[in-house]
Structure 1
Amino acid sequence: MMMTIALPVLLVMVGLALDGGRAYAVRAKLYSAVDAAVLAAARSVSDGEDAARAAAQKYFNANIGSSYFDSTPNLDPIEFRYDSDGLIHINASASAPMETMLLNVAGWSELDVNVNAETIRRPVDLALVIDNTTSLRFGDDGDVTQDVIDRSKDFVARFNESFDRVSLISYAFGAENPVPFESHRGFDIAEIRNEIDDFEFGGNGRPSQYTNASEGMWNALNQLRTVSDPASLRVIVIFNDGAPNTFSSEFEFLDGSTYSGSIRSGDGRSGNPRGLWEPDAIAEQAPSPYYIEGGIHNRLASLPLYYNTHDPDEQEFFVINPDHPIRPVTNFTNGGSNALYQRVNRVARNLTEDIAEQARKEGIYVLTLGLGSRLTEGTGPDNERGEDLLVRMANDPSMLNDSDLADDFKPDQLQGIYCHAVNIDALAPCFEEMLEVIIRLTI
């Protein structure tokens, strides 16, 4: 009699333990699947809500089987809510009715398992800085300019026209900003694609190589500093296939005149500096008498103390800096072509790194992308590798694994990434890595 009375109670207790444990496992798996779904939706919402929902369903299915522990998982339609701050709230809910094994004796043939998840996709203000130097026409992979154009357009297309913003900057002898940030959230993808199609890459000839990366970085920083209604996430992505050897400032000549332009060293150990070129153009010579094919060291009175291309009174970034931790620069007073050559090359690299560091200090992530084997070769009077500079610009934590760079890592500053595309086939994956990092930061 006692066993007859106790048996149903024992079966219910065993059923609670068994089916409850199964339900707990289903719930945990369902949570994992829903989390994956909302993250996938956040990554894909730039392509539209339909694309985001499709991505969510795909990742949901991949993370839980169609009959996990005799359950029937189902993802409800993803919901999107846009608030006044430009944030996208992405909500998902899912259920997985599960057949019971023992609780059915107590009338429970099925247990309902339900979960909810939410993530927020932040808008991003992206300054995209693209190398337009002629070396992209004549590198190890031949003319890769069309590849750079195509990959740049693919990259931009992954951002949302309605709430992200994109500013486009190109640089070679100087730098241009053909597409500044809009005054409102969003950007015109057609305009950016057209401007990328019109990239000049230093013209059709093969003039001496000018790489004025610091001018490109300054334009990116200026865009992010002056944009109205800035996003909480601000990013600079800069693409380069070599090392900086050119910088712009207002220069004083021995005859007392001044002119803002770009001056070049080169990639060799020594040489004859050349300039000036217009700082706000890809490849345009300064007018006479400020464009000097050779012998500019005999015409300059000195180097400016500060980088002052855009304002003669600007005093934020040093040109002359004898205390620079990597490349000290002293003034030039008619010391010969090699003396000026060395200083120009060092300043070109210093300014690029210094502007990147200032951006990080202001809460702007810097991501760097390099292409080709030249980045791994020592160039310039100090025989430095171009990729070392790109790693420092990003403040990539991988620096800690390199004894030559470990001391340059800034743990108190934002950390970005550097991706090296060893050849043109690796360019698309590197752009994809940049995108994945940015999307992770938006969530």
Structure 2
Amino acid sequence: MMKTTGYSGRRSSSRNSKYRQRGAVSIIVAASIVLLIGILGLAVDAGMGYMVKAKLDAATDAAAIAAGEAVTTGSNQATQSANAVTAAQTFFAANYPKGYLGTTVTMNTPSVAFNQGTITIDTAAQATLPVSFMHLFGFNLLNVASSSQTVRKDLDLVLIIDTTGSMATDSAVPPAVRSAAITFLQQFDPLTDRVSLIHFAYGTVVDQPFNGNARGFDMAAMTKSINALNFAGSTNSEEAYWNALNQLNTVITQPSSLRVIVFFSDGAPNSFASIFPTINKTCGLTAGTVITPDKKTPLPPSGLYADNIESQALPSPCYSSNASNVITALPTWYNAHNTSWLNNQTIPVITNTPRVVTSTVNYANVNNAARNIAEGMANVARNEGTYVYAIGRGSELLQPEGANNEIGQNVLKCMANTTDSLSRCYNPKQPVGVYCSALTPSDMTPCFSKLASEILRIAK
């Protein structure tokens, strides 16, 4: 009995211990379930908050971008500011649907600040999200906030328009050029952006120069000049580039944070201006005379077109179908202009790269020199931090031509420093431009719009 009793006592003690362990485990499990539910609920509510935050960020970003584009429209700052606010609110509403995930959202009135040509726009919004599980921990709402800022940089823009004779071979081209160019300029702010208009053929005319350091431009005057353009002559692209750089470097002494040259042409360069070292004196011209459209130095320089075609018809007995009868040698350097910002030895004429040019006056040398100089001018612009964009008109730019049977489009891409330009041209350390091909007249407006959008993008 004693053994039985002793055995029974030990067994009873073990059973009670197990019951106590089971009770403790139940409490731990229950507590763990509550904790896991809380963690799960926290994860669910946090995930919902993350989704709201992402949507709110996208909406404020869209609002800021839209405001940056809309702020360029209007004849005064009050109107521009109102347009920016309206665009921001419209785009925010479009990107953040009312009642998204049960939230209540509030968008602050955007702030629009003008400061010497730079416009800063701030957008902000808050959303309140009802929680599902976090109220177990004393939270009933989750507040999410977002803000975004866009800075519209001040801009110096030179628009260069090719008015050579080849532009008029199709009667639909001139009106399409005028319409596309006017629409392009309307995308910019006439109060804060500085814009210069240039057209060129064998010579160059600055139709609308910069107004010194004063901000803004006269859209009505721009429109009048564009509508008055006539199309005739050969392609002296580098003279247009020189005038563009002269506008940016001398007319303006306080440059904007963003400088852009937009170059529109239907062909690669084929002529250039220069002070030629030796000239046939029977023509009444002496060494050092700059060849110009009417043979007088005060006018914009013109240039040679080919060995058998002279772009300026010199008076009898000087006119000759062979340019080498008048100009006996090409200059060593591009020297049509002597300026402090472009030393006359910056761009060589006689060179082995990128195209070979000797001093002999013939078609190959004149054609190659013209292209080298134009690419050199564009390189000078990019070295100064200026973006160069180009539009090429017509399918002729896709056909081999010139002294080396080059594709004209490649020359324009080299000027713009596009990522798909020739390997010898692309320089990732310089501003990377954009090239757009307008094969038909109807392609011009989309191309100009593409460039305007890109300029406005980098202006932010």
TM interval, shorter chain, is: 0.7 to 0.9
Contact 1:130 1:238 in 2 (8 A): yes
Structure-to-structure mapping, 1:155-234, within 5 angstroms: 155-183=184-212, 184-202=214-232, 209-226=233-250, 227-234=252-259
Q: 1:6–1:242: structure 2 CA closer, same or farther, 3 Å change rule?
A: closer
Q: 1:6–1:275: structure 2 CA closer, same or farther, 3 Å change rule?
A: closer
Task: Return the TM-score normalized by structure 1.
Answer: 0.84
Residue 148 (structure 1) shift: 0.5
Q: For 2:154 and 2:436, how far apart are their aligned partners in 1?
A: 23
Q: For 1:395 and 1:342, how far apart are their aligned partners in 2?
A: 25
Q: For 1:376 and 1:113, how far apart are their aligned partners in 2?
A: 54
**Is residue 307 from structure 1 mapped to residue 307 from structure 2 by the alignment?**
no
Residue 422 (structure 1) shift: 1.8
Q: Which structure has greater strand proportion?
A: 1
Q: 1:317–1:201: structure 2 CA closer, same or farther, 3 Å change rule?
A: farther
Q: For 2:61 and 2:367, how far apart are their aligned partners in 1?
A: 49
The structure with the largest alpha-carbon Rg is 2
Deviates more, 1:290-299 or 1:380-389: 290-299
Deviates more, 1:41-50 or 1:387-396: 41-50
Q: Which residue is equivalent to 1:80?
A: 112
Q: 1:354–1:5: structure 2 CA closer, same or farther, 3 Å change rule?
A: closer
Q: Which residue is equivalent to 1:396?
A: 418
Q: 1:291–1:379: structure 2 CA closer, same or farther, 3 Å change rule?
A: farther
Q: Which residue is equivalent to 1:281?
A: none
Q: Which residue is equivalent to 1:69?
A: 101
Contact 1:273 1:297 in 2 (8 A): no
Q: 1:301–1:14: structure 2 CA closer, same or farther, 3 Å change rule?
A: closer
**Is residue 137 from structure 1 mapped to residue 155 from structure 2 by the alignment?**
no
Residue 60 (structure 1) shift: 2.2
**Is residue 345 from structure 1 mapped to residue 373 from structure 2 by the alignment?**
no
Q: Which residue is equivalent to 2:85?
A: 53
Q: For 1:6 and 1:123, how far apart are their aligned partners in 2?
A: 61
Q: Which residue is equivalent to 1:382?
A: 404
Q: For 1:24 and 1:77, how far apart are their aligned partners in 2?
A: 24
Q: Which amino acid aligns with 2:229?
A: F
Deviates more, 1:14-23 or 1:422-431: 14-23
Identity across aligned pairs (percent)? 35
Cα shift readout 1:211-261 (whole Å, capped 9, x = no counterpart): 111111111111111212110111111001112112111233121614312
**Is residue 329 from structure 1 mapped to residue 357 from structure 2 by the alignment?**
yes
Structure-to-structure mapping, 1:87-98, within 5 angstroms: 87-98=118-129
Residue 195 (structure 1) shift: 1.1
Contact 1:218 1:355 in 2 (8 A): yes
Q: Which amino acid aligns with 1:53?
A: V
Residue 105 (structure 1) shift: 6.4
**Is residue 23 from structure 1 mapped to residue 23 from structure 2 by the alignment?**
no
Q: 1:290–1:239: structure 2 CA closer, same or farther, 3 Å change rule?
A: farther
Q: CA RMSD in A?
A: 2.7
Unaligned runs of 5+ in 1: 203-208, 277-284, 333-338, 400-404
Q: For 1:293 and 1:104, how far apart are their aligned partners in 2?
A: 95
Q: Which residue is equivalent to 1:436?
A: 453
Q: For 1:421 and 1:273, how far apart are their aligned partners in 2?
A: 29
Contact 2:349 2:373 in 1 (8 A): no
Q: For 1:392 and 1:74, how far apart are their aligned partners in 2?
A: 49
Q: For 2:410 and 2:31, how far apart are their aligned partners in 1?
A: 79
Q: For 1:159 and 1:291, how far apart are their aligned partners in 2?
A: 48
Q: Which amino acid aligns with 1:306?
A: W
Q: For 1:346 and 1:317, how far apart are their aligned partners in 2?
A: 17
Contact 2:162 2:201 in 1 (8 A): yes
Contact 1:134 1:201 in 2 (8 A): yes
